[in-house]
Amino acid sequence: MSRPRLTEEQAAASHERRNALTAARMARYRQRLVEERQAPLRAELYARKYGHIYSPNGQAGEYSALATNPYHGCGHQCLYCYVPDVIRITRAEFDRGAAQRKGFTLAGLRRDAVKYRAAGITDQIMLTFTSDPYHPGDTELTRQTIEVLIEHGLAFCTLTKGGTRALRDLDLFRPHHDAFATTLTSLDDRFSLKWEPNAPVPSNRILALKRFHKAGIFTWVSLEPTLDADSSTEIIRQTHRFVDLYKVGRLNHSKLTKTTDWKDYTERVIEKCSRRSVRARTSRRICSGFLPEGYENPLRVPQHH
C-alpha cells in the first residue's frame, strides 16, 4: 500500500521540522565541544586559592564557591569577628576601618573575570570574606567591583551588615543571577550595639532586606554566629516573608557555644523554616549532625530566582 502523498504545505512543514531537529542536535554537539574545551580551565580555576577571584577554603567554602576581596579591615567593630586572625592583623588595625586590599586592582579583577568567563563559569562571586562590602567608609570600590563582574557575565552576592547603605547599588542586582544577604544576631537594637557597636542596627538591615526582596532579588540571612538561640529563632519568625534562605552556624572559640543545646536549636530552626516554606542550611561542621533524618543539607543552595 503506497503512502499518501503529502500536500505542498505538509511537505514544507515536515522539512522545517527536520531542519529544526538537525539544528538542535548540532547546537547540542557544539555546546558539548565547548564544554569539553573549557573543562580543564574550569577545573584549574575552581581549585584556585589565590587571586582576585578564588575558591575559598573550609567553612567559607560553604557560603560560596567563589569570592573576591576588594578590602581588608572593617569599621563595624564586631566583637566576635574572626577575620583579623585569618588575615593576621591586629584587631585594633582591623577595626580602624576598611582599606583597599594590597594587590587588589580593578585591572587585575578584569583579567581574572576574562578567564572565568572563558571557562564558562557563572557561579556567584561572594563579596567579601575579609571585610564588609558596605562598611562605614567609602564603598565606591564595591560598586566598581560589581560592575566589572557584570561586564564579564558573572553573578555576585553581597553579605553585609551595612543595611540601607547597600540600597545605592540595588540597580545593579539581577533577580536571575545575584543575591543580597545580611547577618542578623538579634532583633534587639541594644543587643546588637553591644556586639556590633558600629554596624547599622537590625531594624536598618531588615529594611534593606525588604527593599531587595521587593525588587525581586534573592535574599538570605546568616544566623552565624548564633549568640542566642531564642533570638535566632525569633529572627526567622519575624523575617521569613522577605527572606529566601537562612544559613545557620555558631560562634566559634567562645564559652557561649558550651551553653547552647545545639541539637535542640538546630531542630527548632528546621521546624520553623519548614512550617514557613523557607530553606535553612546548617553548617556541616557544626550543626549537620543534628539534622532530622533525610533532611537535605547540600554544601551550597542556589542563591538566585
pLDDT one-digit tens code per residue, 125-167: 999 899 999 999 999 999 999 999 999 999 999 999 999 999 9
Q: What is the pLDDT of residue 38?
A: 67
Is residue 160 a contact partner of residue 166, using CB atoms and an 8 Å limit?
A: yes
Mean pLDDT of 261-280: 80
Q: What is the pLDDT of residue 193?
A: 93
Q: What is the pLDDT of residue 266?
A: 81
pLDDT at position 258 over 90: no
pLDDT at position 14 over 90: no
Instruction: Compute CA 51 distance to the chain's CA centroid, rounded to the nearest angstrom.
Output: 19
pTM of the model: 0.83
pLDDT digits (tens, 9 = 90+) for 271-289: 888 777 787 776 655 566 6
pLDDT bucket at 61, cuts 50 / 70 / 90: confident
Mean pLDDT of 92-112: 95
Q: What is the pLDDT of residue 272?
A: 81
Q: What is the pLDDT of residue 253?
A: 54
Mean pLDDT of 229-247: 90
pLDDT at position 290 over 70: yes
Cα separation, 252 vs 249, in Å, equals: 9
Q: What is the pLDDT of residue 284?
A: 58
Hey, what's the cell of 199?
554596624
pLDDT at position 256 over 70: no
pLDDT at position 216 over 80: yes
Range with the largest mean pLDDT of 69-73, 256-260, 298-302: 69-73
pLDDT bucket at 212, cuts 50 / 70 / 90: very high
Q: What is the pLDDT of residue 251?
A: 64
Is residue 159 a contact partner of residue 189, using CB atoms and an 8 Å limit?
A: no
Q: What is the pLDDT of residue 190?
A: 93
Q: Which residue has the higher pLDDT, 140 or 292?
A: 140
How, if at all, do strands 71-72 and 99-100 pair?
antiparallel
Q: What is the pLDDT of residue 58?
A: 79
Q: What is the pLDDT of residue 176?
A: 94
Q: For the range 42-50, what are the long-range contacts, defined as Cβ-Cβ under 8 Å and sequence gap of 24 or more?
A: 42/119, 42/120, 42/121, 45/115, 45/116, 45/119, 45/121, 46/121
pLDDT at position 44 over 80: yes
